[in-house]
Amino acid sequence: MLVVASEFDLRQYVRECLRDRTDLRAIDATSVVDCVDAVAHVKPILLIVAEAEEAAVRVFPHLLAILIVNDESGRTSETPRRRILARPFTAERLLAEVVQLLG
């Protein structure tokens, strides 16, 4: 999983919420540029991206699952492989979205 967010607190919270998912290894990126560098070395199956870095979604349209964290629900359209998680969110809600995307 690749977590793309300039906010350290968001990256840390996402990692903490998903620490029990031993099938996911978290890689952090603070920007779209860092995201490009990270994907050159790993092939993530899940992209969790803050709304401010949403350009990462366009860079990697081939990813199987994308979760966009934003400040307004409904701002971006959802698909079976692309979900929106509005802030504030709980660990349970984040985990539910990941389960919906990955099973």
Cα atoms in the Cβ-side hemisphere of radius 13 Å centred on 62:
3
Q: What is the CATH number of the domain that holds 37?
A: 3.40.50.2300
Task: Look at residue 75 in the predicted model and tell me its pLDDT.
Answer: 56
Number of domain units in the chain: 1
Domain boundaries, position 33: 2-90
The whole-angstrom separation of Cα 74 and Cα 78 is 8
- pTM, rounded to two decimals: 0.86
User: What pLDDT band is residue 10 in, cutting at 50, 70 and 90?
Assistant: very high
pLDDT digits (tens, 9 = 90+) for 41-74: 788 889 899 888 877 877 776 777 889 998 875 5
Backbone angles phi, psi at 62, to 5 degrees: -80, -10
Look at residue 30 and tell me if it is in a domain. Answer: yes
- Please count the other Cβ atoms lying within 10 Å of the Cβ belonging to residue 13: 17
Lowest mean pLDDT, pick from 22-26, 77-81, 93-97: 77-81
Look at residue 100 and tell me if it is in a domain. Answer: no
